[in-house]
Copies of this chain bind each other. A is one copy, B any other.
Amino acid sequence: MTETQEKILDTAERLIGEQGYAATSLRQIIAEAGVNLAAVHYHFGSKEDLLDAAVVRKAGPVNEARIAALDRVEQEAGEGQLDIDDVLDCFFRPMADVTRRNQKFVRLMGRIYSEGLMPQIVQKHFQPTMGRFLAAFRRALPELPEEELLWRVHFMVGAMAHTMCGPSSLPGLMDAPVDIPRRIERLQAFLSGGFRAPIAAAGEKK
């Protein structure tokens, strides 16, 4: 990894996290990184591939930590049932941990999910991890039908994405201090209740 590549990745991570992908031009990135425009395409191929590389660099370790935590919890549980809160903890704690050292990256992660851009990137880098966690959720909530389980994980991802990227748009939260780990704790408690909720009756009318 050359110095040029690292300067580009660092700057892209910061600017895209702050402003969003669409709002950040390659020309702004290269200006702040002090490199040439063509260097971006030489090293990364395209703007989208640059984002991909920036994600991969930091998301890899987070997902590894998630899997490691899940391995430990599953081993402790043996053949028995898993606790949904333990599973959520395996998923969110590594993210909270990395946030304590690097706020920039979590912003970028939120952008990726919530700008709706490139499901491919999410797919490519998070799908293996999600597969492991889906299995764990199944073990924690065996009474939940498969389709309902998938939707609940989908809701979880949506709430997480919206929560990660920047301050809330709700008036009372705008000027709240940016304490991401605390934010994640709140989210985890909320999701725990959601996963445990009884299933909605189909076609329910009040």
Chain A contact residues, majority secondary structure: helix
| Interface residue stretch chosen among A3-11, A29-37, A38-46, A147-155 | A147-155
- Kindly list chain B residues whose C-beta atoms are within 8 Å of the C-beta of A78: none
Number of interface residues of A (CB under 8 A): 64
Report how many copies the assembly holds: 2
- Kindly list chain B residues whose C-beta atoms are within 8 Å of the C-beta of A206: 86, 89
A residues apposed to B, CB below 8 Å: 20, 22, 86, 89, 111, 113-117, 119, 122-123, 127, 130, 134, 146-148, 150-163, 165, 168-173, 176, 182-183, 185-204, 206
Q: Which listed residue, B89, B151, B172, touches A147 by the CB 8 Å rule?
A: B172
- Kindly list chain B residues whose C-beta atoms are within 8 Å of the C-beta of A154: 162-163, 168, 170, 173
Which 4 A-B residue pairs are closest in the complex by CB-CB distance? Answer: A158-B162, A193-B197, A189-B200, A194-B194
